Amino acid sequence: MSAVAPEAVRENQLREGAFGNATALVCRECGHQVALGPHYACPECFGPLEVAYAYPSITREEIEAGPRNIWRYQALLPVPTDIEQSPNTEPGFTRLLEAKNLAAELGLAKLWVKDDSTNPTNSFKDRVVACALSAARELGARVFACPSTGNLANAVAAAGARAGIKTVVFIPSNLEQPKQVNSAVFTSNLVAVDGNYDDVNKLASEIAGEEEGWAFVNVNVRPFYAEGSKTLGYEIAEQLGWRLPDQIVIPVASGSQLTKVHKAFQELIKLGLVEDKPYKVFGAQANGCSPVSASYKAGVDAIRPVKPDTIAKSLAIGNPADGIYVLDIANSTGGAVEDVTDDEIREGIVLLARTEGIFTETAGGTTTAVLKKLVETGQLDPEAETVIINTGHGLKTLDAVSGSVGPAATIAPTYSAFAATGLA
């Protein structure tokens, strides 16, 4: 299942330690192992491949002494020990804010926002792209590429520019203008495709099969890419003082992030870096693209693909690759998957902004609105410590709220005109 041709990707010439403590790629379905390389599907059963490790013994102090970015967790990622020497966007170690006002508004005892909108290109995608870039480099790829709903393209284009590797990014042509510009500033190779994300994704797989030496971050190096999301889980635990929260709400597009945050928590327990305790994982989707939440509510363990129709474009994946694993994690931890309407998403954006001073994009509006709905429907325990992840920045999806917020008044520059507004 190698989509990158062997001429370009010199698997047997990999340098020692190219993937750190990673040992192999293992099939999530049947456990079959393949060598570390540009593979993403099991040759036996076509199940998704995942990175396996010879876990090192590592202490909290060793991690704390590392750089203030995701490379402090190098030992738990498929990247070399000298990763800091390779140009990258150095994402991560974003702030974890206690959200007292939002907690009070919703009647929650303790709430935190993990604010990933402050990453280099203003979304959590910088994390996954940093790991994919390392894999692409170690595998000798010539082109760094992706199909994207927007944020991924921004992150790939920026990281590629800094690393000096050719980038080509593919997006649906109806994508928000700010997300198009945020890619086009970094690369002259932005390709807008007339179709939805699932069409763009299909095209990318085809190109990966035809062209030599292309690393598509979320296609043929997806197992390496996906590991980057674990750093969200590590950071949340470390920033809570090496503890796990009781409940966490995570937006779901492909479902990779949610799956990997759970993997990170499990690894921290296994390594003795946090105390073992139960926690509940909740997934957040937009009503207009809710294949995972529909299956959760129907109590089935398969996903039926949908045609997305929502303002939450960064979550608009109709056929989510990791959907079934999200269902499994929500069910096994006692969490849930919930969805909200586009109006609720807009309200969620404004709610987070007015209570906490955080301007989130539609994905974060979805997460905030789902948090509110989970509380109101009694699915989330208001007394338990809760974390929500803000995955992206509102300046990239201005159109979502530009119709619902604006000047309270437009006045002449006189005191009497101001007094007449009643704002004094």
Which residues contribute to the site for ligand PLP (CB under 6 A)?
A: 123, 125, 151, 251-257, 314-315, 361, 363, 391-392
366 is in the binding site of which of Zn ion, ligand PLP, none (Cβ under 5 to 8 A by kind)? none
Please give the C-alpha separations between residue 107 and each of 103, 390, 405, in angstroms, as whole numbers.
6, 20, 25
* Angstrom distance (rounded) from CA 126 to CA 154: 9
27 is in the binding site of which of Zn ion, ligand PLP, none (Cβ under 5 to 8 A by kind)? Zn ion
- The separation between CA 195 and the C-alpha centre of its own chain, rounded to angstroms, equals 22
Angle between helical axes of 256-270 and 230-239 (0-180°, round to 10): 50
Residue 30 vs 409, nearer CB to Zn ion:
30
- Residue 167 token pair: 């980038």
47 is in the binding site of which of Zn ion, ligand PLP, none (Cβ under 5 to 8 A by kind)? Zn ion
Helix (H/G/I), strand (E/B), else coil: 248: strand
283 is in the binding site of which of ligand PLP, Zn ion, none (Cβ under 5 to 8 A by kind)? none
Single-letter amino acid code for the residue at 11: E
Q: Which residues contact 227 (CB under 8 A, 6 or more apart)?
A: 51, 77, 78, 128, 131, 260
Long-range own/partner contacts, residues 188-193 (CB < 8 A, 24 or more apart): 190/153, 190/157
Query: Does position 98 bind Zn ion by CB under 5 A?
Result: no
Query: Does position 30 bind Zn ion by CB under 5 A?
Result: yes
Of 32, 110, 142, 373, the one binding Zn ion (CB under 5 A) is 32
Residue pair 177/169 in contact by the 8 Å Cβ criterion: no
Residue 9 vs 252, nearer CB to ligand PLP:
252
Residue pair 391/249 in contact by the 8 Å Cβ criterion: no
Query: Does position 399 bind Zn ion by CB under 5 A?
Result: no
Minimum separation from the CB atom of position 138 to ligand PLP (A): 23
Residue 31 vs 87, nearer CB to Zn ion:
31
Query: Does position 185 bind Zn ion by CB under 5 A?
Result: no
Of 27, 49, 136, 315, the one binding Zn ion (CB under 5 A) is 27
Residue 74 vs 151, nearer CB to ligand PLP:
151
Q: Which residues contact 263 (CB under 8 A, 6 or more apart)?
A: 230, 233
Minimum separation from the CB atom of position 337 to ligand PLP (A): 12
Binding mask 41-60 for Zn ion (x = CB under 5 A): -x-xx-x-------------
Minimum separation from the CB atom of position 30 to Zn ion (A): 3
251 is in the binding site of which of Zn ion, ligand PLP, none (Cβ under 5 to 8 A by kind)? ligand PLP
Helices then strands, each counted (H, E), the chain: 15, 13
Minimum separation from the CB atom of position 33 to Zn ion (A): 10
- Residue 77: how many CA atoms within 13 Å on its side-chain side? 33
- Residue 214 token pair: 């292309």
Single-letter amino acid code for the residue at 82: D
Residue pair 149/253 in contact by the 8 Å Cβ criterion: yes
Query: Does position 211 bind Zn ion by CB under 5 A?
Result: no
Query: Does position 24 bind Zn ion by CB under 5 A?
Result: no
Q: Please work out the total of residues on this chain that contact Zn ion, with binding judged by CB under 5 A.
A: 8
Residue pair 346/353 in contact by the 8 Å Cβ criterion: no
Minimum separation from the CB atom of position 360 to ligand PLP (A): 9
Query: Does position 212 bind Zn ion by CB under 5 A?
Result: no
257 is in the binding site of which of ligand PLP, Zn ion, none (Cβ under 5 to 8 A by kind)? ligand PLP
Interacting residue ranges for Zn ion, rule: CB under 5 A:
27, 29-30, 32, 42, 44-45, 47
